Structure 1
Amino acid sequence: MKTSIKTISLILLVFITSAFTINDSGYGIGDYATDFELKNIDGKKVSLKDYKEAKGFLVIFTCNSCPYAVAYEDRIIALDKKFKSLGVPVIAINPNNPELQPRDGFDQMKKRAANKGFTFPYLLDEEQDIFPQYGATRTPHVFLLENTSKGYLVRYIGAIDDNYQDASQVETKYVEDAVEAMLAGEEIKITTTKAIGCAIKV
């Protein structure tokens, strides 16, 4: 009897753990990412195919509530301002479940974007089915996509830079370096880094 109870407990533990573990298989460098159609803070749907002249995209999974994401907001705005005119806009996606983190609800997203002056779309992954496809596990988590004739080619995955605490102390600007290399047709020296941030709330 004790053995069967232990067995049942173990099975339940495995089930619960697997149910709440984020799938981090996602995309790798050289994969082609799927498009999406998600609601922006203005209520309109946004997809990558809307940007017909884009050379690429900085798809950034981020949110309101994570202190890491908040620390990077100004840098994300700066990336959009620098590269949007060059054909590589930022597309921000909030992947969190607002029932678990109310500060990441849609109304709160609208307020945050207005207060910070976001210059890019801020989309909600309502069904939470896009971030697992990409393999995003943290906020913020960046995916640089190149718009090619074959599709959206994944060129860089990971962190924005090497110092989330202090922008003035950054030594390596991973995302900026990757975009500049991509636009110049050069090899991207660092293609993957570990995303530093809060776990996505599922």
Structure 2
Amino acid sequence: MFKNIIKELSPFLKQFDFVKKGNDFYKVADKNYGIINFQKGRDSTEDVLKFTINFGVYSNVLGELVNGFHNLNKPEIGQCQWEARIGSFMSGSPDFWWSVNTADNLDKVVSDVSTDVQNIIVPELNRRLSDDGLINSWINDHYAGTTEIGKFKYLTTLLKVKGDFRTLNQVVEAFMQQTKGKPNAIRAVEHLKEIGINS
């Protein structure tokens, strides 16, 4: 069932420039990747399939400067700097999983999944596929798609690369006030030294 659902979704996702590899679909923009990952639930059985969708954006600049990855060909979902599960963008932010029985109509399942992919995942990925999109997301959005310190490292690195030192200084000042006396403050100072910024 799981493979059939992914196979059926492949032509639909191709319309949005996503290419299939295993359980993942990739869209490339410049050297950045938008990734849609279908995850099968561990509690799936022969009769009941449970699955969810993870999706994320991988920035090549951040991969090289922060994560130590170089020219990754098809990064994995866990290597994305911004990552989400579909439930995070559903009403009430549930951890949403589809549950499909062998008796269920697969065409209906594929149609339902396609609707959520088109209405939720594709727009969210497209908004963040560029480094500027990631910057805007991390500055303005409630959902960070990473840890607090991860967001700080990624955002400050991109702002430095872009040369936007005014915004960079604002981000650093706000983060240092917010994390004063906490472990993340020390991590932030270490990171700023690594990228050549005096805090």
Instruction: Identify whether the pair has TM-score above 0.5, normalized to the shorter chain.
Output: no
Higher RCO, Cα 8 Å, sep 6+: 1
TM-score, length-scaled by structure 2: 0.30
TM-score, length-scaled by structure 1: 0.30
